[in-house]
Amino acid sequence: MTVLFKYNVLFLGMAQLKIEYSKEDYPSFENEIPDFLNKVLPLGEKEVLNPENELVNLLLSYHSDDGGAVTVTRVKLDWVKYDPEKKTGKIGFKYHLAWHYACTYSDRDYEKNDKIDFVIDHGAGLIILTFLDLNTRSTAEEF
């Protein structure tokens, strides 16, 4: 299976990550959305540590102003809500952030949660994740 990532800035305040998947590998998925997303999204240990992983980079962008050198060490789906009629839903990501502060020789670890809107376009073989930009994201979006 080949998964292709495309990152687009929609308009001020929003960004989209388009993830292509093979319709032949996943002809039917609606009864098992969490399993389908776990297989298609780049959430494996090696994938999370890949610096070119746009999903991880978008999650990191929420924390770029927090100071220190921050990395994501783990990501998992915490929950998924999906409306099969609209082909839309929300994903709750739980991810682990590790900060290193070279000046003070200290480290900090936190587990974070964010919810992301998504659309599945099975005709095009796409999952489209929509991220709020830092400037428009509020603490009401966290849980």
pLDDT tens digits, 69-113: 788 888 999 999 999 899 999 999 999 888 776 666 666 778 889
- Domain extent, residue 58, equals 4-141
In 3-state terms, the chain is what percent helix, strand and coil (to 5)? 20, 45, 35
The pLDDT of residue 51 is above 90:
no
Q: What is the pLDDT of residue 7?
A: 47
- Cβ atoms of residues 99 and 70 within 8 Å: yes
Reported as half-sphere exposure (CB side, CA atoms, 13 A), residue 72 has a value of: 31
pLDDT band, residue 28 (cuts 50/70/90): confident
What total number of domains does the chain contain? Answer: 1
Q: Which tokens is 110 given?
A: 């936190």
What is the reported pTM?
A: 0.75
- Residues 28 and 50: their CA atoms lie apart, in Å, by 29
Q: What is the pLDDT of residue 13?
A: 59
The pLDDT of residue 11 is above 50:
no
Q: What is the pLDDT of residue 137?
A: 47
